[in-house]
Amino acid sequence: MTDRKQDNGKRVVVIGGGVIGCLTALYLHRLGASPVILEKGSAGHEASWAGAGILCPIHPWLYQDSFTHLIEDSLALYPELSNMLLEMTGISVQWRTTGLLIPFFEDDRIHHHDNALAWSERFGWPVERLDTAQTQAHEPTISAQVQGALLWPEVGQVRNPRLLAAARKALEICGVPIREQAEVTGLNENAQGEVISVTLANGETIAADAVLLAAGSWSGELGSKIGVSLPVEPVKGQIVLLKDKPGRVNHIIKHDDAYMVPRVDGHILVGASMERVGFKSGTTAAVINQLLEATYRITPGLKDAQIVQQWMGFRPGSPDGMPYLGPVEGHPGLWVASGHYRNGVALAPGTADLMSRWIMGEAPHFDLSDFRVNRPAIDKAKVGFPVV
Ligand SMILES: Cc1cc2nc3c(=O)[nH]c(=O)nc-3n(C[C@H](O)[C@H](O)[C@H](O)COP(=O)(O)OP(=O)(O)OC[C@H]3O[C@@H](n4cnc5c(N)ncnc54)[C@H](O)[C@@H]3O)c2cc1C
């Protein structure tokens, strides 16, 4: 044993240095715990780096209502989080409100209009109905075929790499250890079935008062080592980055096969594929071309935009698209925050706040049974899980 429990606070081993692990560790530190992050590669370089940073579920009306409550709690924390990170680290996560626009075309494959309006009314999310002329006035590059749109003016976005860089710097300032190239290969239980330590690939054992499994798409594999069933699978997403003059796209635009996220400097992030190909990494010409074709159909005015970069990441996909949150029944000491699928950045501050308090002994203030680890699985197709 090369690492000992510390005396000055609950020792929490956080497995995974993505946005969920990093922010939860930061919030745990604020509550007086002594977290340590164990990361198999480099912290903040998997899904959390790759994501588009849209701070709203893609189609929230497809999920259970409890999911919207979780999202709302999380989004409410973004202003405070981004200010705290800016003050501590000097890094702006570029949290800003650009609004989300869903345009409608005659040949739409999925008709979201009525469900979207009903959901917005039920939860009090401001939404505007735009006709063709108004849509074109909002988005000058959009197709002449557009038949109107719905606009949620209060939807925001962040830049993921900045969020991760800021979280990392804040952790360093707080003295929270981030151990990289430290792959956890085992979860160890005592005779009572309590999880009391983890083992690393190099054979080292690290003791813990609590272990948080926040290993994104890899969480299921680790859980299975002690018989915990966590059906999280990677759903690969490819993204292509365009560059045009600032103002060519003003809102996040989402349609059937692509979304566009405008950055303040004229970059436009186009995403994202949904692929069930296991952990097969790398971008492919076929998928990037599909994304571009979809983009040019929605916003032909972007045909001249420069293609700057492309990348991919593995979304941690739970069957119902909702995260697993909380203690693991039958394995005291083990906690899970994983399976955030397409919404982990939006859900990150809420997850971190909730999980840190819960691990430190404060019961959650609303019913989280829809997010429990052993909930029944539902039909994946409902939340847009791609058919293999
Ligand atoms: C293309 C794309 C677009 C997206 N767009 C959005 C969006 O617009 N808005 C939004 O809210 N969400 C979006 N998401 C989803 C979001 O990025 C994820 O839900 C979120 O990043 C998950 O965070 P995480 O920390 O659970 O996982 P990750 O970021 O994958 O982090 C998990 C970490 O655990 C580490 N790890 C794994 N196994 C081990 C082990 N055995 N030992 C130690 N470390 C381990 C990994 O190396 C990794 O660093 C998108 C995702 C993708 C891929």
Sorted by sequence, the CB contacts under 8 Å of residue 27 that are 6+ apart come out as 352, 353, 355, 356, 357
pLDDT given for residue 107 in this prediction = 85
Percent of the chain residues past pLDDT 70, beyond the cut: 95
Beta bridge partners of 157: 54, 96
pLDDT given for residue 8 in this prediction = 57
Q: What is the pairing mode between strands 100-103 and 156-157?
A: unpaired
Tens digits of per-residue pLDDT, 283-337? 999 999 999 999 999 999 999 999 999 999 999 999 999 999 999 999 999 999 9
pLDDT given for residue 59 in this prediction = 87
Question: Stretch 217-239: mean pLDDT, rounded?
Answer: 95
pLDDT given for residue 108 in this prediction = 84
> For ligand 1, is residue 51 a contact (CB within 6 Å)?
yes
CA dihedral (47, 48, 54, 55) positive or negative:
positive
CA 243, CA 246: separation in Å to the nearest integer?
A: 9
| Ligand 1 atom at minimal distance to the Cα of residue 345 | 11
CA of 37 to the centre of ligand 1 (A): 15
Nearest residue (CA) to ligand 1, atom 21:
48
CA of 18 to the centre of ligand 1 (A): 6
Tens digits of per-residue pLDDT, 252-290? 999 988 999 999 999 999 999 999 999 999 999 999 999
**The tokens of 252 are what?**
């996040």
pLDDT given for residue 384 in this prediction = 64
Tens digits of per-residue pLDDT, 210-220? 999 999 999 99
CA of 363 to the centre of ligand 1 (A): 26
C-alpha neighbours within 13 Å on the C-beta side of residue 207: 9
CA of 165 to the centre of ligand 1 (A): 14
| Ligand 1 atom at minimal distance to the Cα of residue 344 | 19
Tens digits of per-residue pLDDT, 147-157? 999 999 999 99
Question: Stretch 186-197: mean pLDDT, rounded?
Answer: 95
> For ligand 1, is residue 273 a contact (CB within 6 Å)?
no
pLDDT given for residue 6 in this prediction = 42
**The tokens of 220 are what?**
């299921």
Question: Stretch 202-223: mean pLDDT, rounded?
Answer: 97
Q: Are 207 and 11 in contact (CB under 8 A)?
A: yes
| Ligand 1 atom at minimal distance to the Cα of residue 238 | 1
Question: Stretch 179-203: mean pLDDT, rounded?
Answer: 96
Indicate the SS3 state at residue 363: coil
Domains and CATH numbers, the chain: 11-87+160-231+319-383 (3.50.50.60), 100-154+233-317 (3.30.9.10)
pLDDT given for residue 252 in this prediction = 98
CA 303, CA 317: separation in Å to the nearest integer?
A: 32
Alpha-carbon torsion angle 279, 285, 288, 293, nearest 10: -150
| Ligand 1 atom at minimal distance to the Cα of residue 182 | 43
> For ligand 1, is residue 337 a contact (CB within 6 Å)?
no
DSSP designation for 40: S
> For ligand 1, is residue 271 a contact (CB within 6 Å)?
yes
pLDDT given for residue 374 in this prediction = 87
Report the chain's mean pLDDT, rounded to a whole number: 93
pLDDT given for residue 371 in this prediction = 96
CA of 35 to the centre of ligand 1 (A): 19
Q: What is the DSSP string of 268-313?
A: EEEE---B-BTB--S--HHHHHHHHHHHHHH-GGGTTSEEEEEEEE
For a substitution probing ligand 1, which of 22, 36, 40 has the most ligand atoms within 8 Å of its CB?
A: 40
pLDDT given for residue 4 in this prediction = 34
Tens digits of per-residue pLDDT, 63-93? 889 999 999 999 999 999 999 999 999 999 9
Tens digits of per-residue pLDDT, 354-384? 999 999 999 998 899 999 998 987 666 666 6
pLDDT given for residue 379 in this prediction = 65
CA of 192 to the centre of ligand 1 (A): 32
**The tokens of 49 are what?**
């780096």
pLDDT given for residue 382 in this prediction = 65
* pLDDT tier at 112, thresholds 50, 70, 90: confident
pLDDT given for residue 7 in this prediction = 42
**Is a pLDDT exceeding 80 seen at residue 386?**
no
156 alpha-carbon distance from chain centroid: 14
Tens digits of per-residue pLDDT, 36-68? 999 999 999 999 999 999 999 888 998 889 999
